[in-house]
């Protein structure tokens, strides 16, 4: 129906992720409904594994279809660290700690990866991935975004993710890409089977 939106529960307590999801999903007629019921978060090698496990657990526990998004910063000179543990590393070491680990590093190349997992209570997760490449700056800049955004400069850019507007960030970010892939599938030909 024109003008109507299709809701999807987004299991997260991160308000920044909700804001970004709303910007990205709105043009597809999808409303991201915050739901503070994320499933168990496991330790894994990839953000896709973490998102899929959490989505499966949460959809079964709360008996509803939903999405979970997991993301990580993968720094080349640190062997991909902090990767899927980025949230924990941000809370414990913080931006300063990661910058200290990179002191004297020849390469500051890095990438942000995102995985959006959709799952229904009786189904298996469907995962959509996104990635943005860039580099780690020598100091933080910008008041926008969250996590490691203030030290990540996307390839071809001069400003950190933290210095971009939310709309600018969503247009190029890892989360924007994974959310758009999810939205295309969610509103695509298979959609009629779910609604």
Distance of alpha carbon 21 from its chain centroid, rounded?
9
**Selection from 27, 185, 42 nearest residue 118 by Cα:** 185
- From 12, 60, 33, 23, select the one nearest 172 (Cα to Cα): 23
| Total length of the chain | 195
Three-state secondary-structure class, residue 115: strand
Check if 149 is active-site: no
Backbone angles phi, psi at 132, to 5 degrees: -135, 135
Q: Where are the alpha helices (DSSP H) in 26-165?
A: 47-61, 86-92, 94-101
The catalytic residue among 36, 63, 70, 149 is 70
- Judge whether 133 and 152 are in contact, CB under 8 Å: no
Strand partners, 154: 134
List the alpha helices (DSSP H) in the chain: 15-25, 47-61, 86-92, 94-101, 166-172, 174-186, 191-194
State the catalytic residues.
70
């Amino acid at each position: 129906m024109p003008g109507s939106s299709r809701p999807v529960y987004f299991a997260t307590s991160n308000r920044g992720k909700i804001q970004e999801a709303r910007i990205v999903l709105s043009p597809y007629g999808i409303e991201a409904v915050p739901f503070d019921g994320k499933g168990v978060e496991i330790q894994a090698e990839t953000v896709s594994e973490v998102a899929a496990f959490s989505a499966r657990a949460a959809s079964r526990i709360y008996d509803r279809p939903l999405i979970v998004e997991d993301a990580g910063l993968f720094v080349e000179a640190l062997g991909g660290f902090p990767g899927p543990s980025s949230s924990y590393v941000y809370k414990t070491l913080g931006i300063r700690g990661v910058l200290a680990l990179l002191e004297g590093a020849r390469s500051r190349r890095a990438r942000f990866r995102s995985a959006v997992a959709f799952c229904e209570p009786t189904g298996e997760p469907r995962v959509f991935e996104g990635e943005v490449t860039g580099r780690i700056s020598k100091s933080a800049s910008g008041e926008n975004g969250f996590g490691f955004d203030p030290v990540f400069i996307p390839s071809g850019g001069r400003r950190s993710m933290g210095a971009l507007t939310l709309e600018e960030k969503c247009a190029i970010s890892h989360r924007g890409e994974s959310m758009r892939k999810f939205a295309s599938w969610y509103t695509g030909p298979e959609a009629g089977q779910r609604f």
